[in-house]
Amino acid sequence: MFVTVLFALLFYAATAIFLAGIGMRIARYARTPAPLKIPTTPAPTTRGGVVLRMVTEVVLFNSLFKANKWIWIFGIVFHVALALVLLRHLRYFLDPVPAWVVMIQPFGKYAAFAMVLGLAGLWARRVFVERIRYISSPSDHLMLALLLGIGLTGLAMTYLWHVDITAVKLFFTGLMRFDFNPLPAHPMLLLHLLLVAGLMIIFPFSKLLHAPGVFFSPTRNQVDNPREKRHLTNVKWMVRSEKPAASADQ
Amino acid sequence: MANFDTPELTESDTVEIPALKSGVMSHSKPFVSKEQFQEPLGFPGELVDNWKDVAVNKLGELLQTNRALQVFMDSCVKCGACTDKCHYFLGTSDPRNMPVARQDLLRSVYRRYFTLPGKYFPKLVGATDLTEDVLDQWYSYFHQCSECRRCSVYCPYGIDTAEITMATRDIMNAVGKGQKYSNEIIGKVFKIGNNLGLPQPALEDTLLGLEEDVKDDTGIDVRFPLDEKGAEVLVVTPSADFFAEPHIDGLIGYAKVFHAAGISWTLSSHASEAANFGLFIGSGENMKRIAMRIREAALDLGVKRIVFGECGHAWRVAYSYLNTLAGPFDFLDPRYPVPQHICEFTYDLIQRGVLTLDKSRNDHRRVTFHDSCNVARASRMGDMPGGQFIIPREIIKATCNHFYDMAPDTIGEGTFCCGGGGGLLTDDLMELRVKGALPRMNALKDVVDEHEVTHMAAICAICKSQFSKVLPYYGFQMDQIVSVHQLVSDALVLDAKQ
């Protein structure tokens, strides 16, 4: 019972920090003005074009593909696998389980291997490529360790030490109705959940902010039409120097 | 000035990534701006006593007024995609010239003062206190960035080091540690009207001299009008076009094009400069003040169109910011974009068959084209995607029989900076300029070896000045760099209709 309450509270806290943290960050990005047009060209000249560009960035990692094929391969394998694994986990939260979530189960199961592989590749580059080692700080390694730990503990439960997943599902669906059902005290499960909660808590304070950040990046999300449409914000320096500029020192 | 070795050119066209040599460029610093150059721009004359507080406050203010900076400070995952993309890193081997490492000089301070983990676990997340040592590193390494934005092309989040460099330079100016070259030049623009400090009478003399030169060469009266009210087109061009080589041949080219097209035009002594060094120091207020001169000149002269001459960052400011900073320009002829680039103007005339061009007059040249970074990655020409790459090349092909592009990953959106952009075109940074030119010099050598290229054409005043100085370090001749409109000038048949 102690473990159940502890993890229940942990997940309430982690969810609150995750949602509030990300929400506040997104609000800040949205509120901060972008005083000048700075798209990196060749950039789209229409809103639709920008959406298309953003999709190629977010789904295909287009710029990264141009930059470095190794980082791209490991990066995209990790992210796609993570997405599949996350979607697979919906079955622990939804009742009844939608047909498509059932359908992706086998893919999600094997995707965990791909996720671990992608992470291992990224970590290997961080350790063995001099340039990337130079720019890495301890938190960069810890983040990889955390994600790798989540992947490995998950794999361990799928293939080595099975857990009573029906009980796990009852625990989480219960949490959503503020109803505490017992969580199996399986060490691998507890470690897995602890790491997941940790990831949720550090998300809004870490480089994981690249996930919402990419959508707010002016070099990627601005329409390249400054000659057609006058871009204006009420940033102080724009408004303030309106008068002296005309005459003063000339 | 420090002694240095010019890097060796490599045999192939691939870009070689050097082994890291930590701190080898930490000595590279431009002269610090003195009080007389600081104050006209609204900056303190020397380092203020409470500079740490001022700097942190300024950073806070910039984070709240520039979404790009805020997002870029948070989003970097240290993936390493940018680490081999900067020409200064490739040329100097100093790891601080890797874009992410340069950004981290500011990001580590941001983390320390503006994020929770940086406040409580600075070592873990690479956060640092703002110290004199950090300020020194800012001064060195944020003056080893030409704001060329090559790294932003390859970053999965579009993080643009130029924005971070500009913000840090803005902070340094706010605490009284400005850079002399850029700030002195901005002062000259405010006082006299152009970067070179050419007063109106000198300008007039120069233009009269050019009229005589062209008359001697061609026997034709090509005009170089100044402050002519009622002209159709106001031409705003970098002041280097008035006397530097090879820039001046470009100016002669513009004049001949206007003459051939029969379109009246004028230069302005009030706005006798296209460059806007406010961009280089990241100062919106100064950028706006400089931009306003062009609006005033256009209104005063009653022109219908504004055309910009060959200048990379001036074109960026014109294309992307002029409307924002100095607009609206609703008093101009709505049939033309505001502003236009001289290449768009000339290309349009070529398309319509207005110009008679004899390509064989350039047969003694085998030409390649250097895409200037601000044109390539921060502006557009014409109404087609990638027009900024197509139009200058089409002009060259219309004026020369022999044109050869350099390797694909060194041109277009991936073009390598000349090494002198972003306010670094000063002799106190010669080592940096020479080493930073290495990737472009390698690409040039490649087409010289393969296609016997003799000339490299460019459409940027800084590129032209930089290459004139740097080409000889690599065994090329300084006159191998030419203006695109110099090629037009030489091919243009002015008396065709007689």
pLDDT tens digit sequence for B390-400 = 999 999 999 99
Interface test mutation site (partner B, options A41, A56, A62, A65, max chain B beta carbons within 10 A)? A41
**Domain membership of residue B289 as a residue range:** 192-404+453-491
Chain segment B21-45, per-residue pLDDT in tens = 999 999 999 999 999 999 999 999 9
Chain segment B140-184, per-residue pLDDT in tens = 999 999 999 999 999 999 999 999 999 999 999 999 999 999 999
State residue A15's pLDDT score.
97
Percent pLDDT > 90 in chain B is 94
State residue B161's pLDDT score.
98
Residues B303 and B359 in one domain: yes
Q: How far is CA B285 from CA A166, A239, B105, B277, B296, in A?
A: 63, 9, 25, 11, 17
Please tell me the distance from the alpha carbon of residue B23 to that of residue A246, in angstroms, as a whole number: 45
User: Has residue B248 been placed in a domain?
Assistant: yes
Residues B163 and B268 in one domain: no
Who has greater pLDDT, B352 or B10? B352
State residue B302's pLDDT score.
98
State residue B15's pLDDT score.
76
pLDDT at B12 over 90: no
A225 touches chain B (CB under 8 A): no
User: Has residue B24 been placed in a domain?
Assistant: no
Chain B residue nearest residue A202, CA to CA = B117
In the block, residue with structure tokens 């090329």:
B476
Residues B253 and B358 in one domain: yes
**Domain membership of residue A192 as a residue range:** 2-221
Residues B272 and B373 in one domain: yes
From the CA of B89, how many Å to the nearest CA of chain A?
11
A217 touches chain B (CB under 8 A): yes
Q: Do B17 and A236 touch (CB under 8 A)?
A: no
From the CA of B221, how many Å to the nearest CA of chain A?
34
Q: What is the CATH number of the domain that holds A74?
A: 1.20.950.20
Q: What is the CATH number of the domain that holds B39?
A: 1.10.1060
From the CA of B222, how many Å to the nearest CA of chain A?
31
User: Has residue A170 been placed in a domain?
Assistant: yes
Chain segment B411-422, per-residue pLDDT in tens = 999 999 999 999
Q: Average pLDDT of B472-497?
A: 92
From the CA of A5, how many Å to the nearest CA of chain B?
28
Rounded (5°) CA angle A79-A82-A83: 90
The pLDDT confidence band at residue B3, using thresholds 50, 70 and 90, is: confident
User: Has residue A54 been placed in a domain?
Assistant: yes
User: Has residue A124 been placed in a domain?
Assistant: yes
Residues B246 and B382 in one domain: yes
Residues B129 and B197 in one domain: no
Chain segment B174-194, per-residue pLDDT in tens = 999 999 999 999 999 999 989
Interface test mutation site (partner A, options B62, B77, B103, B105, max chain A beta carbons within 10 A)? B77
From the CA of B350, how many Å to the nearest CA of chain A?
23
pLDDT at A94 over 50: yes
pLDDT at B211 over 80: yes
Interface of A with B in 16-35 (CB under 8 A): 25, 28-29, 32-35
B388 touches chain A (CB under 8 A): yes
Q: Average pLDDT of A218-228?
A: 96
Neighbouring CB atoms inside 10 A of A28's CB total 16
User: Has residue A243 been placed in a domain?
Assistant: no
Give the domain-ending residue among B137, B159, B185. B185
Q: Do A218 and B68 touch (CB under 8 A)?
A: yes
B18 touches chain A (CB under 8 A): no
Q: Show residues of chain A in contact with B270, CB under 8 Å.
A: 250
Chain segment A121-144, per-residue pLDDT in tens = 999 999 999 999 999 999 999 999
Who has greater pLDDT, A223 or A246? A223
Q: How far is CA B485 from CA A16, B87, B214, in A?
A: 62, 27, 15
The pLDDT confidence band at residue B497, using thresholds 50, 70 and 90, is: very low
Q: Show residues of chain B in contact with A29, CB under 8 Å.
A: 67, 70-71
State residue B82's pLDDT score.
97
Q: Average pLDDT of B66-80?
A: 97
User: Has residue B431 been placed in a domain?
Assistant: no
User: Has residue A83 been placed in a domain?
Assistant: yes
Chain A residue nearest residue B118, CA to CA = A205
Residues B458 and B329 in one domain: yes
Which phi-psi region, left, alpha or beta, contains residue B453 (left: φ > 0; alpha: ψ -120 to 50)? beta
User: Has residue B368 been placed in a domain?
Assistant: yes
Please tell me the distance from the alpha carbon of residue B44 to that of residue A115, in angstroms, as a whole number: 53
Give the domain-ending residue among B120, B153, B185. B185
Residues B263 and B149 in one domain: no
A48 touches chain B (CB under 8 A): no
From the CA of B472, how many Å to the nearest CA of chain A?
31
Please say whether the beta carbons of B67 and B78 come within 8 A. Answer: no
State residue A250's pLDDT score.
32
Residues B138 and B213 in one domain: no
Structural domain count of chain B: 2
Structural domain count of chain A: 1
Q: How many CA atoms lie within 13 A of A97 on its CB side?
A: 15
B315 touches chain A (CB under 8 A): no
Chain segment B357-383, per-residue pLDDT in tens = 999 999 999 999 999 999 999 999 998
User: Has residue B166 been placed in a domain?
Assistant: yes
From the CA of B380, how many Å to the nearest CA of chain A?
8
Please tell me the distance from the alpha carbon of residue B59 to that of residue B47, in angstroms, as a whole number: 16
In this prediction the ipTM stands at: 0.94
Chain segment B293-319, per-residue pLDDT in tens = 999 999 999 999 999 999 999 999 999
State residue A234's pLDDT score.
86
The pLDDT confidence band at residue A160, using thresholds 50, 70 and 90, is: very high
pLDDT at B496 over 90: no
User: Has residue A214 been placed in a domain?
Assistant: yes
Residues B65 and B157 in one domain: yes
User: Has residue A239 been placed in a domain?
Assistant: no
User: Has residue A159 been placed in a domain?
Assistant: yes
With a CB cutoff of 8 Å and minimum separation 6, the contacts of B86 are B97, B98, B99, B102, B145, B150, B151, B161
Please tell me the distance from the alpha carbon of residue B195 to that of residue B36, in angstroms, as a whole number: 16
Please say whether the beta carbons of B271 and B193 come within 8 A. Answer: yes
Q: Show residues of chain A in contact with B20, CB under 8 Å.
A: 130-131, 134
Residues B459 and B487 in one domain: yes
pLDDT at A158 over 60: yes
The pLDDT confidence band at residue B10, using thresholds 50, 70 and 90, is: confident
Q: Do B289 and A36 touch (CB under 8 A)?
A: no
Q: How many CB pairs under 8 A join A and B?
A: 229
User: Has residue B61 been placed in a domain?
Assistant: yes
Q: Do A219 and B158 touch (CB under 8 A)?
A: yes
Beta strands in B115-259 (DSSP E): 233-236
pLDDT at B11 over 80: no
User: Has residue B326 been placed in a domain?
Assistant: yes
